[in-house]
């Protein structure tokens, strides 16, 4: 399917690896100019070169911490008027809630709630003026259900979801959409780190913990980053202009609900 976004400019935060990298790949294959972002400059450069070689798309690497004002300035200096904005940041480390102090809580809320809001504030008026904009926030299935060790991530991302519920309706008239994707278990570095942390806490091996985890998923597997990237790219498409303010669960059926 032609997504109708060839030539559009996309900022993809946290895209040097994992789900962010998968989204960047899908948008690049759709013909977008992609701003690739990460903190590790060397890794980012390698990923940008690989993605350009793979797709032929224009890839602009920006090594920056988007949770800081300086990092956000760097992103928008590279792409002052994005048509597509993907907010994505690694969540707080897996911890029992008793071990989370005030400083860690503030850091988690800054990364997973405040930063996406700040990025949207900078991008959305230009999108409204141009009568096209797609914002996709990568949150988590933990917004809907408890996941061991992700309490801080759950709280911050749920706050973002609630904050943007009204915002998304306020810009829909201008063909600007704001949606959230809630990933379940996807086979990424972060997922593997979570498996390791849980396995250690429960005295199990990595493989045993992984098998136990995916056994709870009706699809009986972890998701692939590539399928996640393509779903995100569709939400950024011209065809998705009537989808806004939604929370798309990509979890293989893990969260069990009729609605």
Q: Please tell me what DSSP assigns to residue 90.
A: P
* DSSP H/E element including 89: none
Question: What was the pLDDT predicted at 189?
Answer: 87
Give the tens place of pLDDT for each residue, 49-105: 999 999 999 999 999 999 999 999 999 999 999 999 999 987 777 788 999 999 999
Question: What was the pLDDT predicted at 231?
Answer: 98
Q: Give yes or no for residue 47 having a pLDDT over 90.
A: yes
Give the tens place of pLDDT for each residue, 188-240: 988 888 888 888 889 999 999 999 999 999 999 999 999 999 999 999 999 99
* Contact criterion met (CB below 8 Å) for 251 and 185: yes
Q: Is the dihedral of CA 19, 22, 26, 28 positive or negative?
A: positive
18-22 mean pLDDT: 97
Measured in whole angstroms, how far is the alpha carbon of residue 212 from the centre of its chain? 25
Give the tens place of pLDDT for each residue, 102-124: 999 999 999 999 999 999 999 99
Domain-by-domain residue ranges, the chain?
9-184+224-249, 187-222
Q: Is the dihedral of CA 181, 182, 184, 188 positive or negative?
A: positive
- The third-level CATH classification (topology) of the domain covering 9-184+224-249 is Rossmann fold (3.40.50)
């Amino acid at each position: 399917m032609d997504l109708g976004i060839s030539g559009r400019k996309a900022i993809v935060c946290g895209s040097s690896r994992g789900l962010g990298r998968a989204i960047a790949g899908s948008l690049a294959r759709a013909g977008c100019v992609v701003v690739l972002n990460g903190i590790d400059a060397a890794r980012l450069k390698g990923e940008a070169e690989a993605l350009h070689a793979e797709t032929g798309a224009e890839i602009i690497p920006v090594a920056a911490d988007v949770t800081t004002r300086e990092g956000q300035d760097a992103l928008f200096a590279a792409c002052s008027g994005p048509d597509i904005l993907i907010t994505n940041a690694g969540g707080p480390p897996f911890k029992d809630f008793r071990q989370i102090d005030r400083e860690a809580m503030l850091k988690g809320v800054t990364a997973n709630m405040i930063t996406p809001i700040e990025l949207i504030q900078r991008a959305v008026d230009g999108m409204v003026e141009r009568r096209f904009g797609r914002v996709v926030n990568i949150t988590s299935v933990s917004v809907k259900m408890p996941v061991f060790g992700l309490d801080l991530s759950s709280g911050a991302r749920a706050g973002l979801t609630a904050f943007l519920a009204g915002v998304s309706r306020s810009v829909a008239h201008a063909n600007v959409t704001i949606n959230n994707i809630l990933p379940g278990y996807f086979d990424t570095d972060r997922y593997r780190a979570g498996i390791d942390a849980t396995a250690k806490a429960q005295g199990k091996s990595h493989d045993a913990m992984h098998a136990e985890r995916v056994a709870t998923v009706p699809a009986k597997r972890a998701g692939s980053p590539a399928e996640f990237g393509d779903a995100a790219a569709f939400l950024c498409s011209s065809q998705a202009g009537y989808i806004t303010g939604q929370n798309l669960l990509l979890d293989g059926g893990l969260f069990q609900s009729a609605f």
